[in-house]
Structure formats: C-alpha cells, structure tokens
C-alpha cells in the first residue's frame, strides 16, 4: 500500500514544485523590470532627509508631500535634527542622503572633510537668528562673565563668536553653554541663562518673553559675516542618483516660488509643521531671504559666492580655535555645485 500511495504523492509534489518555480520566475522577472525602471528614471528605493524646525521652504515641501508625489515609487523618510552639527554626524554615520545645515557647520564639515556637496541654498539668514539677552544687558561688552547659550558648531555659534570678536571679547570671556534650541528656550524660561544666540521659532519665543536683541545675523552679514541655511547631499548619492537630486531641488524651488506668490499658503504649511499660528509663521518667514533656482546659480551664490563664504568661515573658525585646519580652496569650490539648480530651473 505504501508503494501504491507514493506515486500520487510524488506527482502532487512535482506539480507543487513546478508551480512554485513558475511563481518564482514571474516574481524575479517583475522585480528585474521594476529595478530597471527605477534605474532609468534615477529614482532610488529610499531617500532619507535630515530636516530642521526652521521656517523655510523645506517645511513647505514636507508638509505638502511634494517629494512623495515626485517620487511615487520611492520611500521618503524625514528625520528631524536640532542643529547642523547633528546633521553632520548623521552624514558621517551614513544615515541620511540629503540634509539641511547652516553654513558654519557645512564649512566645518568640508574642512574635516565630509564627503558631501551643496546643491541648494534654503535661505540667507537675516533677522531669523539673533543674540537675545536679559533686558538689563545693554551691549555686547556687558556679556563678560555672563551665561550665553547656543548650539555649538551652528551658524548661531559662528555669529556669536563673530559678535564677540567685533567687541574685543573671546569665547573665554563669557560662559558659552552648548544647548539645542528647545533646551535653550527652557533654560531661558527657568532663568538659568543670561542670553542666547539662536534662531526662530525659539528666538521669537524668547523675544516674546522680554528678551532684548543685541545684534542680528542680518547686521553681521552687512559687516561681512553672512550665514546661510544650506542643503547638503552626499557625494555618493549625487553620483548614483543625479536625476533624483535635480527633482529634489525642483521641489525646493517650487516652495520658494510659493513663498513669494502665495505667502499665506506657505505660512499655513510651515505653521502646521512648527505647531504655531500662521501669522506667527508668516512673520518668521519674513526674517529670511529666499532665492529661486535662477538666482542661486549666479556668481554671488552657488556660482562662487557661497564657496568663498565657506572658505572664509572655515578660516575664521580656525583662527578662533574651533577647527584644527582649513582645506585648500578647491575643497570648498568643489563642495558647491550649480549642476542641480541649473537643471531644475530649466
């Protein structure tokens, strides 16, 4: 009997195996076709983006899910970071592809050097970052011996050092406390610090609580210490997926155009991301300067000015002992590209 039953069982097993193999071949064929399609249009399987709570076009893109629409077959992961220094660490750890960091952390990153490049300017920082202090402090000279908080290695830290330098003070003359923006506001609320160099929305909160603005990044910019919020993309990602970077830049350009053409709609999107009122978001947006793709590719910005700024920032940081060395000029020139903004602006 066992011999009589084994024939049908082997036949059934053979049929099942044939069916599974057929399914496997079909599935492999489907995956190969999908992979080819993704390679053809430059779309990676996943894009991981480091963003910050800064009232600029990046939050518009995130809120409106424009990247998800532009990359329908790609997983888009947004990771929130508190400062550009943390973004640099994430890039080194290979945990993000594209990120937002201020010009000072980018200058530090290129000086390391971190293998990334700047394809886009999120904003030129104006009044959106400032040195704000207790009301009884009337000048930068009065900061001697005071506790001033700022995120180390950020554009705010750079601007604080520049302001102190102008007044003939150094970092040793004040007690500089390293803290992230939300923690800075909490410390201010408790009365633990005398002031801070920080950006919106926490800057606006401190001013609303009675803080006195001593100097803004806009004022420092007029004296040669311009700061930016920059996009960075890893060299590997840019080389492997240039079309994807161009499409990412195109969505950022779209956000700048929305900020200009319909500031109310842009403010509502940003307010939703920052959990603030649209009117407050609109006021914070006005403290930044935005450039579209056609403006960014010019000699003043991605076409040369940003690279010169990053080199000068690195040299300033080295002079003050913030970084050990400055790379050759080509490192900063090669670290800024017009390629993607030119393509996106066509």
Q: Are 293 and 160 in a shared domain?
A: no
Omega before 298 within 30 of 0, i.e. cis: no
Number of domains observed in the structure of the chain: 2
Looking at residue 346, its pLDDT comes to 81
CATH number at residue 92: 3.40.190.10
Asked whether residue 240 is assigned to any structural domain, the reply reads: yes
Q: Are 266 and 327 in a shared domain?
A: yes
Residues of the chain with pLDDT under 70: 1-42
The boundaries of the domain holding residue 198 are: 129-222
What span, in angstroms and rounded, lies between the C-alpha atoms of 182 and 3?
A: 77
What span, in angstroms and rounded, lies between the C-alpha atoms of 207 and 167?
A: 23
Contact status, residue 340 vs residue 334, Cβ threshold 8 Å: no
Q: Are 232 and 191 in a shared domain?
A: no
Q: Are 218 and 235 in a shared domain?
A: no
Looking at residue 17, its pLDDT comes to 33
Q: What angle do CA 297, 155, 344 make, to 5 degrees?
A: 20
């Amino acid at each position: 009997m066992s011999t009589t039953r084994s024939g049908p069982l082997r036949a059934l097993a053979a049929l099942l195996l044939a069916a599974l193999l057929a399914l496997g071949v079909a599935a492999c064929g489907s995956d190969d076709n999908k992979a080819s399609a993704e390679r053809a249009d430059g779309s990676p399987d996943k894009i991981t983006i480091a963003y910050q709570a800064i009232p600029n076009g990046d939050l518009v893109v995130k809120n409106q899910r424009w990247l998800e629409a532009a990359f329908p077959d790609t997983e888009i992961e947004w990771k929130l970071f508190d400062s550009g220094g943390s973004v640099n660490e994430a890039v080194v750890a290979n945990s993000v592809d594209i990120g937002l960091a201020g010009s000072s952390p980018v200058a530090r990153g290129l000086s390391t050097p971190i293998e990334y490049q700047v394809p886009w300017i999120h904003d030129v920082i104006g009044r959106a970052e400032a040195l704000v202090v207790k009301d009884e402090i009337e000048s930068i000279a009065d900061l001697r011996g005071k506790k001033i908080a700022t995120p180390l290695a950020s554009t705010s830290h750079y601007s604080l050092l520049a302001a102190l330098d102008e007044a003939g003070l150094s970092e040793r003359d004040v007690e500089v406390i390293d803290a992230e923006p939300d923690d800075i506001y909490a410390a201010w609320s408790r009365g633990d610090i005398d002031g801070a160099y920080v950006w919106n929305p926490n800057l606006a909160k401190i001013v609303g609580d009675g803080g006195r603005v001593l100097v803004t990044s806009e004022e420092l910019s007029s004296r040669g210490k311009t700061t930016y919020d920059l996009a960075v993309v890893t060299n590997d990602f840019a080389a492997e997926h240039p079309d994807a970077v161009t499409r990412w830049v195109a969505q950022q350009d779209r956000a700048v155009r929305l900020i200009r053409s319909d500031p109310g709609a842009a403010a509502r999107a940003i307010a939703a991301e920052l959990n603030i009122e649209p009117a407050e978001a609109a006021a914070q947006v006005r403290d930044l300067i935005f450039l579209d793709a056609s403006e960014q590719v010019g000699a003043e910005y991605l076409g040369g000015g940003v690279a010169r700024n990053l080199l000068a920032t690195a040299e300033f940081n080295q002079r003050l002992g913030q970084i050990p060395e400055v790379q050759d000029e080509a490192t900063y020139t090669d670290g800024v590209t017009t390629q993607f903004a030119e393509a996106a602006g066509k």
